[in-house]
Structure 1
Amino acid sequence: MNVFDILAEQRILEALRRGELDGLPGAGRPLDLTEDPFVPPEQRMMNHVLRNAGVAPAEAGLRREIAALRAQIATLPAGEARDELRRRLAWLILQLGERQRG
């Protein structure tokens, strides 16, 4: 956890104590995490249509692989195997960024 994570957590807890987060829309319901909020709406719509047609965009596969690598890296001790996975992760993140830029 870095300093920004700690500060964010502290501010959230303070807002909770003051009741500033009471009564927000959707309170008590699970979050819908099926859509990536950082993907433009047009791309999200296209992804939705493709997903309903049983076709996944290439970015979806990259995102799944990135998530799996992050989870795997988190379980490994420091060493050569972990370093190799981190290099692979960096490469995949670069590929994803290039695909998103067009």
Structure 2
Amino acid sequence: MSFEHIIEEKIKQSIRDGDFDHLPGKGRPLPKDELGYVPDELRNSYRILKNANMLPEEMQLKKEIVEIEELVHTIQDPEQKEAYRRQLTEKKIRFDMLMEKRKISQSSAFRQYGGKINRRFGI
């Protein structure tokens, strides 16, 4: 008797016993996985980082880019504005280099997920 067969029998027995009758959300569709568009090889890593309230380096950079862009729009002092623009350019270059190094930008799954990230950050 295989392990899979034992598991299947346990599930069937639990259904017969009514163990699943009062579960929260019964009869409703499962919630969508917000990491569904992340490539399979990255999904578990991203989920672990998310649960630990950590962002992957590329997402942290993207977040910093958005924050600096917002600052640039609000700053009146030309010298200070130029300093933030230089910082913004450096972060964008670093982000692009990181994406190229990881070859993530070539993944169709990342392009789909990247759009979701951009919308979340308001880009």
TM-score, length of structure 1 as denominator length: 0.52
Q: Structure 1 residues 58-67 or 79-88, which shifts more?
A: 58-67
Q: Any unmatched runs of 5+ in structure 1?
A: 1-33
| Residue identity matched to 1:80 | E
Cα gap change, 1:77/1:55 in structure 2, threshold over 3 Å: closer, same or farther?
A: closer
Shift of 1:53: 4.6
Question: Using CA pairs below 8 Å that are at least 6 residues apart, which structure has the higher relative contact order?
Answer: 2
Q: 2:54 & 2:73 partners in 1: Cα distance?
A: 30
Cα gap change, 1:53/1:76 in structure 2, threshold over 3 Å: closer, same or farther?
A: closer
- Name the structure with the higher helix share: 2
Equivalent residue runs for 1:1-102 within 5 Å: 41-42=38-39, 45=43, 46-77=45-76, 79-102=78-101
Shift of 1:65: 0.9
Q: Structure 1 residues 89-98 or 72-81, which shifts more?
A: 72-81
SS class of match (2:55): coil
Q: 1:69 & 1:44 partners in 2: Cα distance?
A: 27
Shift of 1:57: 0.8
Number of residues paired by the alignment?
Answer: 65
Q: Structure 1 residues 91-100 or 73-82, which shifts more?
A: 73-82
Seq. identity, %: 20
Cα gap change, 1:77/1:54 in structure 2, threshold over 3 Å: closer, same or farther?
A: closer
TM-score, length of structure 2 as denominator length: 0.44
What CA deviation, in whole Å up to 9, does each residue of 1:37-76 have, x standing for no partner?
xxx7417635345323544211121111111100100101
